Amino acid sequence: MSPSATGSDATLGGARFGDRLFKAALTLTALAVPVLLGFLVFELWAGSREAIGEFGLGFLTSSEWDPVEGRFGALPLIFGTVVSSALALLIAVPLSLGVAIFLTEFAPMRIRGPVSFLIELLAAIPSVVYGLWGIFVMIPFLRATVFPFLKDTLGFLPFFQGPIYGPGMLSAAIILAIMVMPYIMSVSREVLLAVPNTQREAALALGATRWEALTGAVLPYARSGIIGAVILGLGRALGETMAVTMVIGNRHEIAASLFAPGYTMAAAIANEFAEAVENIHLSALSYVALTLFVVTVLINAAARLLIWRVAQGGGGKSA
Amino acid sequence: MTATLPGRTAMPHASSLKPTLAARGAPATRGPGGEPVVEAREFRFSYGPTEVLKGISLGVARNAVTAIIGPSGCGKSTFLRAINRMHELLPDVRHGGDLLLDGQSIYAPGRDLVDLRRRIGMVFQRPNPFPKSIFDNVAYGPTVNRLALKRDLPELVERCLRQAALWDEVKDRLHEPGTGLSGGQQQRLCIARALANSPEVLLMDEPCSALDPIATQKVEELIFALKEHYTIAIVTHNMQQAARVSDFTGFFDSGELIEFGDTDQLFTAPAHERTEAYITGRFG
């Protein structure tokens, strides 16, 4: 009895040591994330100190961008980032949700797998390829057919006036929409699949139509997950650089017209970093990066809050 | 022989039911031969190549409780779900023979599914309230079916919750989520929700299998009380439960209806050997 007891004690001690080592290693990796984040913010701040000292918060409200005179303002970039992402979601969310609902609720079994696989494949395409496709295929098509049509039918709105260049805010939004669709679609599909079948049955057994079961039982159940999917897409859209810079026109300008060229924070950093020779120019780009970081964090925080509120209201405290 | 019958001997609360439900047997004397509300005629059903029901013929009598018992996989739940065409969500299902509601085929081409399911309510194995308030759960059916005006809903909801013996427990928190109730309360909420459609028939698919004994007793008392106004078909794994709550019992085995008759008769003097083997616990 006693030898086996000491034996088990020894292995227990060994296990304890192993456990402690493992726990320490995991704690270290977990701590690495916030520490890295801290360094990142510090570096951005250190890099942009000169620009912050020069322009202060006025940087965020000024539209001037003149590397020769050394005067910089980021408002058009912030505007471009927010507007292109919002427009992209406006296009992508209904499409992705429609596809997700079709694939989980209505599509014949045998096409569900292949179709969702194809859509998820879109996420694997490098963004520079999207950019090239945008330049050579999408923009010529938009310029020849869609944009003139929009101008003719909705031209009374300021958003669809002015010359059609091709590259511009709307082109960027459309390419972003295509790029974020697979994310929103596949996450909402997962969320809809996770809705228990008993919920659908409950609604159908009460005499609901398929549509009523969907809107009255399935979607409310999946609501917070779907919002999460949209936020994932938004995060992608806000940070997307390459494809956007290739099709947005890259002009530091705020225009009402969606046909007009614009610029985003990410695109400006990528484009100008290599060309910036003056310290203040570099510092201004760093300041833009810091701003992008803060904007992204704020939008994500707001989105989390929204999910939390929705989950509370939707009977989130289920047993 | 009689001593080995679990159903008749183990009726812990049957006596407590009797005073409130003195009418047991009175409306039920109409045997399976009377005018049935739901009638199966040589009904067959298959999932893909597997035939699960092999020609079932039985009638569900009005204002009575008809229980369906049998070992796992015997097709009893399939039969119940076929009555309000709940299988329609699944691919590759086929049926043969016929099922009638008030003499009209449930599977007739062009049959309005929404109307059918309004008239045939269903309570499922696991309580499945919507993640909505208690009030909205009960009001769901009448709302989607446009059965009641908005201003009549509070009265309707109260009546259904009272019928489901839940009103006193929830009247002060009608606007809290139904998912916050206990399991037994959730199941009674689901019953109230089904009643709100004023169905003719109430199908119950093992309604107590996820509940504790106290909650089970409450639901059983409720089933007993409900047959005054509704026709009930219940599938159960629990033979004592079938013996306690039902007027008629059908015994299914391997997709066939082995025996169907008066509950007392079936449990005390089964006509068929397999029925006897099952109810005395020799298999299943």
Number of domains composing chain A? 1
Over residues A41-66, the mean pLDDT reads 91
Alpha carbon of B203: minimum distance to chain A alpha carbons (Å) = 10
Within-domain flag for B188: no
Between A1 and B137, residue with greater pLDDT? B137
Give the tokens for residue B166: 């839940």
| Closest-approach residue (CA) in chain B for A218 | B130
List, as one string, the DSSP characters of A177-232: HHHHHHHHHHHHHHHHHTS-HHHHHHHHHTT--HHHHIIIIIHHHHHHHHHHHHHH
Contact with chain A for residue B107, Cβ under 8 A: no
Within-domain flag for A160: yes
Half-sphere exposure (CA, 13 Å, Cβ side) for A245? 14
The CATH number covering residue B90 comes to: 3.40.50.300
Of B117, B131, B180, the CB nearest to A206: B117
Collect all residues of chain A within an 8 Å Cβ-Cβ radius of residue B180: 315, 317-319
pLDDT of residue A96: 95
Contact with chain B for residue A216, Cβ under 8 A: yes
Residues 6+ apart with CB under 8 A from A144: none
Within-domain flag for B209: yes
Alpha carbon of B283: minimum distance to chain A alpha carbons (Å) = 30
Of B121, B132, B177, the CB nearest to A205: B121
Of B118, B132, B182, the CB nearest to A315: B132
Collect all residues of chain A within an 8 Å Cβ-Cβ radius of residue B193: 202, 206
Contact with chain A for residue B91, Cβ under 8 A: yes
User: Are residues B124 and A212, on separate chains, in Cβ contact within 8 Å?
Assistant: no
User: Are residues B89 and A205, on separate chains, in Cβ contact within 8 Å?
Assistant: no
User: Are residues B180 and A317, on separate chains, in Cβ contact within 8 Å?
Assistant: yes
Of the pLDDT bands very low, low, confident and very high (cuts 50, 70, 90), residue A13 is low
- The percent of residues above 70 in pLDDT, for chain A, comes to 92
pLDDT of residue A317: 36
- Tell me if the pTM is above 0.80: no
The CATH number covering residue A237 comes to: 1.10.3720.10
pLDDT of residue A312: 66
Contact with chain B for residue A313, Cβ under 8 A: no
Instruction: State CA B1 to chain mean position distance.
Output: 29
pLDDT of residue A162: 86
The residues with which B68 forms a beta bridge, in sequence order, are B235, B250
**Closest by CA position to B226, among listed B155, B123, B136:** B123
Contact with chain B for residue A12, Cβ under 8 A: no
pLDDT of residue A302: 85
Give the tokens for residue B217: 């007793």
User: Are residues B178 and A315, on separate chains, in Cβ contact within 8 Å?
Assistant: yes
The boundaries of the domain holding residue A82 are 57-312
pLDDT of residue A10: 52
pLDDT of residue A17: 87
Of A198, A207, A314, the CB nearest to B114: A207
Average pLDDT score over chain B: 84
Within-domain flag for B179: no
The interface predicted TM-score (ipTM) is 0.79
| Amino acid identity at A20 | R
**Pairs of residues, one from chain A and one from chain B, whose beta carbons lie less than 8 Å apart:** 90
Contact with chain A for residue B194, Cβ under 8 A: yes
pLDDT of residue A120: 86
Q: How many CB atoms lie within 10 A of CB A259?
A: 24
Contact with chain B for residue A113, Cβ under 8 A: no
Average pLDDT score over chain A: 88
Of A108, A197, A206, the CB nearest to B140: A206
Within-domain flag for B268: yes
A283-310 burial by CB neighbour count: b if 16+ within 10 A, else e? bbbbbbbbbbbebbeebeeebeeebeeb
Give the tokens for residue B124: 């499922």
Place of tokens 């003149």: A66
pLDDT of residue A11: 55
pLDDT of residue B238: 87
| Closest-approach residue (CA) in chain B for A106 | B89
User: Are residues B124 and A208, on separate chains, in Cβ contact within 8 Å?
Assistant: no
Within-domain flag for B143: no
Alpha carbon of A318: minimum distance to chain B alpha carbons (Å) = 5
Of the pLDDT bands very low, low, confident and very high (cuts 50, 70, 90), residue A313 is low
User: Are residues B144 and A207, on separate chains, in Cβ contact within 8 Å?
Assistant: yes
User: Are residues A220 and B193, on separate chains, in Cβ contact within 8 Å?
Assistant: no
Give the tokens for residue B272: 């068929």
Residue B91 sits at φ, ψ, to 5 deg, of -80, 160
Collect all residues of chain B within an 8 Å Cβ-Cβ radius of residue A212: 144
What confidence tens digit (pLDDT) does each residue in A250-263 have? 888 898 899 999 99
User: Are residues A201 and B86, on separate chains, in Cβ contact within 8 Å?
Assistant: yes
Give the tokens for residue A27: 């704690």
Of A204, A217, A318, the CB nearest to B179: A318
Between A4 and A271, residue with greater pLDDT? A271
Q: Is there a contact between B131 and A315 (Cβ–Cβ < 8 Å)?
A: yes
Alpha carbon of B265: minimum distance to chain A alpha carbons (Å) = 33
Residues 6+ apart with CB under 8 A from A276: A67, A282, A285
Query: If 0-12 CB within 10 Å is exposed, 13-18 middle and 19+ buried, where does residue A88 land?
Result: buried
Within-domain flag for A5: no
Q: Is there a contact between B139 and B195 (Cβ–Cβ < 8 Å)?
A: no
What confidence tens digit (pLDDT) does each residue in A296-309 have? 998 888 888 888 87
The boundaries of the domain holding residue B222 are 30-125+200-279
Residue B196: helix, strand or coil by DSSP? coil
Number of domains composing chain B? 1
Over residues A29-53, the mean pLDDT reads 93
Residue B5: helix, strand or coil by DSSP? coil
Contact with chain B for residue A37, Cβ under 8 A: no
Within-domain flag for A114: yes
pLDDT of residue B193: 94
Indicate if the alpha-carbon torsion angle B81, B82, B85, B88 is positive or negative. Answer: positive
Instruction: Kindly give the parts of chain B with pLDDT less than 50.
Output: 1-33
What confidence tens digit (pLDDT) does each residue in A138-192 have? 999 999 999 999 999 998 888 998 888 889 999 999 999 999 999 999 999 999 9
Contact with chain A for residue B146, Cβ under 8 A: no
User: Are residues A206 and B183, on separate chains, in Cβ contact within 8 Å?
Assistant: no
Cα-Cα-Cα-Cα torsion B90, B92, B96, B102, nearest 10 degrees, comes to 20
Alpha carbon of B141: minimum distance to chain A alpha carbons (Å) = 5
